[in-house]
Structures are given as C-alpha cells and as structure tokens.
Amino acid sequence: MKYALSFLAVIALVLIAWLGSQIPGMPYIFGVAFPYLAIAVFLGGFVYRVVQWAKSPVPFSIQTTCGQAKSLDFIKHNKLEAPHTTAQVVARMALEILTFRSLFRNTHAEMHQGPKITYESSKWLWIFALIFHYSFLLIILRHMRLFLNPVPFWVQWLETLDALFQVGAPTWYMSDVGILIGVGFLFARRLTNVKVRYISLLNDYFPLVLIFTIAITGILMRYFLRTDIDIVNIKQLTVGLAALHPTIGSDIGAIFFIHLFLVCALLVYFPYSKLMHMGGVFMSPTRNMKNNSREVRHLNPWNPRILPHSYAGYEDEFREFMVDAGIPVEKELPPQKDEE
Amino acid sequence: MSVPKLEQLSKSVAQGPSLATGAVPTQDWMDIPAVFKSGNYAYPAKKDKVEYLNSQKGLYFPNAREWSPEDDDWKLPEDWKNIILNGLKERLDKFRSLKIFMDCCVRCGACADKCHFFLGTGDPKNMPVLRAELLRSVYRNDFTLGGKILGKMAGGREMTVGVLKEWFMYSYQCTECRRCSVFCPYGIDTAEITMMLRELLHLVGVGINWILEPASNSNRTGNHMGLQPHTFKDNVEFLVDDVENLTGVRPNISFNRKGAEILFITPSADVFAEPGLYTAMGYMILFEAIGLDYTWSTYASEGGNFGLFTNNETMKKLNAKMYAEAERLGVKYIIGGECGHMWRVLHQYMDTMNGPADFLEVPVSPITGTKFQNAASTKMVHITEFTADLIKHGKLKLDKSRNSHVKATFHDSCNTSRAMGLLDEPRYVLDHVVDNWVEMPENTIREQTFCCGSGTGLNTDEIMELRMRSGYPRANAVQYVRDKFDVNTLACVCAIDRATLTSLNNYWTPEVTVCGLTELVGNAIVQENEGENRAVLDEGLRTMV
Ligand code: HEM
Ligand code: SF4
Ligand code: SF4
C-alpha cells in the first residue's frame, strides 16, 4: 500500500511536469520559476531546521562510548570510539559521516531452537548505503558542469574518474549504475526484510521512488533519448539560472522538464523529511560529544535549582537513633529532663 | 505472575510466532492496542509514595491516586492531553537530543534486532525504532508540517489514551541500556526517548512503584532500601564481623566521620542482600589492606539513583546528597563502588547537575600517588580504576589461588560500558585476581554487551517472565561459556546486576553464580597480619565457617 502510494505520487509528479511543460508559456514556470522556488525552500528550510535544532541546548553530556575511555596510563585508550579531545571527536565524526562507521558494525540476530541466538555480521545495508550515498554525491558534483562556465577542472577530473571503466557509448558513469543499484537495494530491502517492512512508512518509500525516478530520467536523457533534448539550450538555461539571468530557449524536451521538476520536488521535500539526517548526523549528541565529562564540567543552561533533602532535616528525623548507635551528629540531643 | 517452566519459555522464545522468529504480524502496529494483564506490567506507584515525592521541594509528582493499568479508566487529570503535549513541547525545547532523534531516524532498521527486549519477546514495539515511533508519531502529528498536513499518511497519529497506555507499556520495557544507540548510523539513543516518555507519564501521575518507592526512600533515609542510619550501620558492622571471622582481620570502618580523606559511596544493596554483601566485604578488605583513610556515610548511603529512571529533577535531587555530604565531612574526594546506573549519573550528569565541587580536590591515590586526571572535575573515582592502579603499582598482595574455585566470565554493565567506557579496567583487575577467566562471545560484551534485562527499576517480581525473556540474550551468552569452558561465575561491576543476574541465572543457567569484581579481589587479597586466624576459605568469602 505505502509503496504503491509512493509510486502513484511520483507518477503524478511526472505527469504534471510532462503535460504542464507542454502548455505554451509554462516552460518558463517549470524551467525558471519552480527551480528558484525549490532552491529557496530548500535553503531556507534547511537553515531553519538546523537553527531549530541548535536553539535547543544540549543539557547533559550523553556521549555513547563504543570503546575504552581515557583513564589510567596503562589502559589503552580507544581514541575513535570514546574520544576525549575535539580532534578525536572530529575523527570519530569523520568516520561516521564518510564511512558510516556505525552501520559497519551491523549484525543480524537469529533465533534457533534451544533456544540459541546467533549474531552474524551483516554488512549489506552498509555497503549499499555507501554505494548509494557516494553515487548521489558524485552525481550532484558532476552536475556542476551544467551550472558553471567554463567547466571547472575538478568536475572534469571527477567525470574521468567516474567513467574509468569506459563501458558503452556514451560511457556509463559508475555513479549512475551505483545509484540505481543502491536505491534498488534499499527499496527491495524495505519490502523483503520483514522487520524493516513493518516499520516503513510512506515517508520511507517516497524519497526512494522519487530519487529512483530522477536517476532514471537522467539516465534516459544521457544514454537513450539524447536526440529528444537540446543540450545547448539546456546548458544555456542552467548557466543562466546559476548566473541569475535565466533565458529559456525552445525545444528543450519534455523529459528534461520531468527530470528538473522531480529534482525540485525533492528539494522542497528535503527539509521537511527524514532526509534531514544529512544535517542531523553532525549534531547528534551521542556521537559528537567528548567523553571527558568527569574531567571537564559540562554546563546546562537551564539547570534548575534543586537542593537535596538536607542533612539537617535528616539528622533531625533520626538524631536519637544516630546518637544511640554512636554515629556522630552535628547537634546533640536536648538534655533530658529529670522526671519529677 | 508465575514464571513459565523453563522448557515452555525456551520454546516460546525460539519458536513462538513473533517478529523475532520471522513471523509477520498481520496488523499495522498503530492498530494493535496495548493490553494489560497480570504479569505484563509493573505495579503502579503507591499513593503515599507519590504524595511524599510531590511534597519535596523541586519535585513534581501530581495526581497521586490508587489506580491499576488493567482498569479502563486510569483516572488521568481532566486536561491530560494538554499536559502531555505541553510537556513534550517543553522537552523539545530543552533537549536537542530529543529533537534530533525525532527528526533524523530513516527507519533503516539497523537497531531493530539489537534490543534484548525485542529478542526475548518478539514484540515489534520492542524494536528500538518502533519504541521511538510511539512518541515520534505523536510528534509528527502535532509538531511537524508534514504531519499536520498529511496526518496518518505521513506517519502521524493523534495523542489518545490508547497511545498513552502504549507509552506506559513500552517505556517500561526498555532498560535504557543504549545498545541500540551503538548501531544506529546517527547514534539515536532510544534510552533518551524512554526517559522522555517516562518524564511525560509522571506529569499525569503514571509511574511504577518499584521505582518511586526506592526514590522516596532514598530521599528520606539516604538509600533505596530505606535503611535508617542505625540499621545501615548495623548492616555494615555485621559484614565487618563476617570478614573478621573469615579472614582473621577486622577491618576498620567509620560512619559520617569528619576529616576522613575519602568518602566511600556504594549502592545500598551491597550491604543489604546476597550476593552484594560479599562485594561489600571485598571493599572493606581492600581498604583495610591499604590502610585507606575513608568513611561511610549514612546520609549519602546510596550510590544508585532511581531518579535517573524517573525524571531529571529527581535524579538531581537524589544525587545532590553526595556532594553535600562530602562538603560537610570535609573529605578530599569520593570513591564510588560498583554499580552501573550509578556511574551513568556520576560520569555524565553529576558535575553538570550539582557541580562544581570546588570544595574537593583532584583525586590522588594516597597509596600510589596517581592523579586521576579523568576525574579532575567531578572528583569521583570508580573503585575499579582505583584498584587497577593499586595493582599496577604492586600495592596489593594477591594470591590468585584463593580464587581457584572460580572459573569466571565478565559481564559489562550497560552503563559503565556505553556511557562511560570502563571496559579494560575490570578486565585488568580480573587478570590479577583469578587464574582463569574467559570472555563471552564478542557480540555480547564490551560496547555490545547485553543488559541483564531488568535495569532501570524493572527488577521487580511481578514481571518475572518479561525479565527472563529480556535477559535471555545475556543468559544465552552465559550458557555458551558454561557449556564450552565450564564457567561457574559471572563477575560484574553492578549492584543491580548482582541481584538481577542472580535471578536470571537461577532460571537459565543455575550452575553459574554471580559476584561483584571486588568480591574476587577480596578473596585474593593477602593481608599482612592475617596470620593463623584465617579460616580455610574454599569458596572465598562465601565459605561457611
Ligand atoms: C553522513 C552520514 C549519513 C549516513 C550515515 C546516512 C545513512 C543513510 C541510511 C542508513 C539511509 C537508509 C536507507 C534505507 O534504509 O532506506 C539513508 C538514506 C538516504 N540518505 Fe543518507 N546518510 C548520511 C548522509 C546523507 C547525506 C549527506 C545525504 C544528502 C543528500 C543523504 C541522503 C539520503 C537519501 C536521499 C536517502 C534515501 C532515501 C531514503 O531512504 O529515505 N544522506 N541514509
Ligand atoms: S538505527 Fe537509527 S536510523 Fe535506523 S531505524 Fe534505528 S533509530 Fe532509526
Ligand atoms: S535502550 Fe536498550 S532496552 Fe531500550 S530500546 Fe535501546 S536496546 Fe532496547
């Protein structure tokens, strides 16, 4: 149901772009107005979300330690898993963000008769998540060719790298294959892994379908429908967009508008969805805090003033027992009055 | 509340139709209501305990009443829904962790099978991700744009009494062990979410007695057990007698002594019941062997802190006694005994909440001169750090053969491993006090250690089946080393573990006893003046003489 709905939603977006862009005058809306709008929403929304997060303080030092803390000299400190200094935290975060360190740990638990539980290393999610994310990154970076004139050296350099295998004509980029495989796996996993399927929401399928369709339309343009689009016109438009004086030629091709409209949809969707994990991962307190909380005091801006049940109150309640038991007290018992 | 027979439960854990064994639930989780029946919930807090806590300055425990989770009507306050939603808003503004964790989960499922409650019960809502979704769904509905527009389609749902009941059920089927957080690509810590859920529930008077009674005891008498000063002293003195009878050396102790160099605080369970008693005897033997100038306190006679399982205000109030007492007695610093959640509070919260402890000094071992730089600000040293340092400097005379009856394995408690990073100190100590010890399988130790299944105030008898299930992953690892290496002792550095693992082992692996690390240290120590009065201790401090 949920995944079917995601397909429907994306198909609807495709139809809107396809039919809409054919109406005279509309190419300007789809080619210029929507992209600007989408970028504005994306940037504004992204910043807004990060600011919203940042506005809430981190009251306590809640690092999750995944290795030996720094303690005595002869106990070997695990600098990456229980970082003690800022540099070590940066290294830990770099590992998380660049190599998905935590996903690498993943295991699969299985129940057997006995009962017995086994834990097997399970790195599929890690591998395909990496393939997906790096392909995505490469594709975004390669797209800079469209917006920058002249094309910067590093974009050409990335293109050469990405096309290293020289397969097909035009040569297939690894990242294009990678993103399809990556998204395909993530989607298939969502459907076939019982647990993941059970927790999945529309919000989980939709971005995958959307990204898949963006990638497909992109690939269609590059490898199969080359003649349906006018690359010179497109480049003129995109460079114009980047330079803030867009001009839109005719004959750009519907497939391009579909591609572009879906990207706009993704940009608009991004700040209001789980895709914000991109920003959030940097700010997760369990990962980005130092494990030095006994060495350096962490401050809580809203630390309430709460005093303990006082010693004086405690002694008042139990003084007699304490004196009887020979426990030192602050105030002696009142002198006993002789009975008369 | 009777616990099922071993065979029955074994079968149910491995083959029962549950998500953990591969069966697919037919209904969406949002459509499955939480049903309370005897045995699947911990008793609600008694009215007088809630009233007492509510009367304490700085604490807020409204709506004290008699109620039962099995009733339809939980006697919530009239405007409970507003209270909850406002409480959630307030917490979103106070805790960045909550906001980030609400927003960033991609439902990748990496955490799903990492939770011992899920593995033992197979209940989908015990997957950390779903536990969090219980709250996230409400958050979406009321606090996010997508949820406000799309509602259920975007995974939102309205806050209802049914949802609240579900929160109660599943926030008390999480031991805040943080194992899920190790595996999550964004470090999402479901323990934080559970804490928030429990805080919210207290706002409308929903809490359990096994937590609030110890918390109120601790506030009033200084310890969870409710031991009054003279009783506390008596208990410790019994142990002194025992140590003397066994080893021939009578440890010197004192209470509330001003001018002592060090204040020693450990969970009161250690002076209250087996097997913690032996650990407490171990402390005294150790301190006697090095001639430590230390004192116990009856006012701060609790290391543990059930406030951690309640709300941050209660945690702060209970914890504050430690510094208050250290200042009153004029000690230089504090040594803390073996305990898991106690050390979570001491390592990650104490200084922030109740510091700075300017009246104390940076801890320096009076025996070795080692400065505990890692505790420079909080000024509390973990007993295992202290002991490891003594051993390293050759200050303890240890005879491993005195532990020859022991074939040990070591259980990392959740908090000291994942909220502190105390992993190798206890292993170092263990290396020096026993001949023989082995590790459990690697996915069940160190930062991946499995909870005893009864932490966060869930070690109450009425939910014994649940505890035996959630403790199963730990027990299974113990079974493994028992079968393979004839392990007969499960050592740990946690007072809750000493109690809960004992129940767990009695059920799953009755051949394996549970002990504190310092008990083994106490066994192995050779006192200078022990002479011929020392009994033959075939079973260490547990020997009957
Ligand atoms: C830096 C650390 C990051 C980690 C550890 C991470 C991890 C993940 C994981 C585990 C998924 C789940 C896929 C699934 O099960 O469906 C995912 C999805 C996704 N991530 Fe990331 N990600 C990171 C950064 C980013 C960044 C920088 C972007 C930038 C665009 C991004 C965009 C996406 C998208 C578009 C999806 C797929 C759609 C979806 O499943 O909802 N991620 N990520
Ligand atoms: S591992 Fe983290 S991101 Fe993945 S489902 Fe669990 S909580 Fe969500
Ligand atoms: S903190 Fe522990 S008990 Fe709670 S959800 Fe995570 S793994 Fe389960």
Model ipTM? Answer: 0.94
Strand bridging mode A107-112 / A116-121: antiparallel
Q: How far is CA B18 from the centre of its chain?
A: 28
Domain boundaries, chain B: 1-27, 33-207, 213-542
| Contact (CB<8Å) A284/B124 | no
B55 touching A, CB under 8 A? no
Helices (H) and strands (E) in chain B, counts: 23, 8
Pick the CATH number of B33-207 from 1.10.150, 1.10.3470, 1.10.1060, 2.60.40: 1.10.1060
Write down how long chain A is.
340
Stretch 29-58 of chain A: residues touching chain B, C-beta under 8 Å: 49, 52-58
pLDDT tens, B400-446?
999 999 999 999 999 999 999 999 999 999 999 999 899 999 999 99
Distance from CA of A75 to the nearest CA of B (A): 7
pLDDT value of residue B402: 96
Stretch 203-222 of chain A: residues touching chain B, C-beta under 8 Å: 203-204
Residue A116 CB-density burial (10 A; 0-12 exposed, 13-18 middle, 19+ buried): middle
Q: Which residue of B lies nearest to A105 if distances are taken between CA atoms?
A: B183
- Rounded distance between C-alpha atoms, residue B179 and residue B191, angstroms: 9
Output the six-digit token pair for B86: 């406002």
Closest of A1, A92, A129 to residue B109, by C-alpha: A129
Domain boundaries, chain A: 2-294, 309-335
| Contact (CB<8Å) A64/B109 | no
Q: Which among A277, A287, A288 is the best mutation to test ligand 1's pocket, defined by most ligand atoms within 8 Å of the CB?
A: A277
Smallest CA separation from ligand 2 atom 8, residue: B105
State the Rg of chain A over Cα.
30
CATH superfamily label, A2-294: Transmembrane di-heme cytochromes, Chain C (1.20.950.20)
pLDDT value of residue A338: 62
Cβ of A38 closer than 6 Å to ligand 1, yes or no, is no
pTM for this predicted structure:
0.95
Q: Find the largest Cα–Cα distance for chain A.
A: 119
The side-by-side arrangement of strands in the sheet containing B333-336 is B294-295, B262-265, B333-336, B380-382
Output the six-digit token pair for B82: 């507003």
| Contact (CB<8Å) A117/B476 | yes
Output the six-digit token pair for B235: 């208990």
Q: pLDDT 10s per residue in chain A (340 long)?
A: 788 999 999 999 999 999 998 888 888 899 999 999 999 999 999 999 999 999 999 999 999 999 999 999 999 999 999 999 999 999 999 999 999 999 999 999 999 988 899 999 999 999 999 999 999 999 999 999 999 888 999 999 999 999 988 888 788 999 999 999 999 999 999 999 999 999 999 999 999 999 999 999 999 998 888 777 788 889 889 999 999 988 887 778 889 999 999 999 999 999 999 999 999 999 999 999 999 999 999 999 999 999 999 999 999 999 999 999 999 999 988 887 665 5
Output the six-digit token pair for B169: 């059920």
Question: Do the Cβ atoms of B294 and B260 come closer than 8 Å?
Answer: yes
Q: Give Cβ neighbours of residue A1 (< 8 Å, ≥ 6 apart).
A: none
What are the beta bridge partners of residue A121?
Answer: A107
Give residue A28 CA to ligand 2 midpoint distance, Å. 41
Smallest CA separation from ligand 2 atom 6, residue: B111
Q: Give Cβ neighbours of residue A67 (< 8 Å, ≥ 6 apart).
A: A78, A80, A81, A82, B421, B423, B446, B447
- Rounded distance between C-alpha atoms, residue A163 and residue A176, angstroms: 10
Which chain A residues are closer than 8 Å to B353 by Cβ?
300, 303
- Which ligand 1 atom is the nearest neighbour of the CA of A100? 5
pLDDT value of residue B182: 98
Side-chain half-sphere of A100: how many Cα atoms within 13 Å?
21
Closest of B213, B208, B188 to residue B198, by C-alpha: B208
Closest of B499, B2, B460, B455 to residue B209, by C-alpha: B460
Smallest CA separation from ligand 3 atom 8, residue: B115
Strand, helix or coil for residue A246: coil
Distance from CA of A210 to the nearest CA of B (A): 16
How many contacts does A have with B, using Cβ atoms within 8 A? 339
Which parts of chain B have pLDDT scores under 50?
none
- Rounded distance between C-alpha atoms, residue A58 and residue A76, angstroms: 29
Helices (H), B173-311: 179-183, 190-203, 209-221, 229-247, 276-290
- Which ligand 2 atom is the nearest neighbour of the CA of B112? 6
- Rounded distance between C-alpha atoms, residue B382 and residue B389, angstroms: 11
Residue labelled with tokens 């920003």: A279
| Contact (CB<8Å) B57/A306 | yes
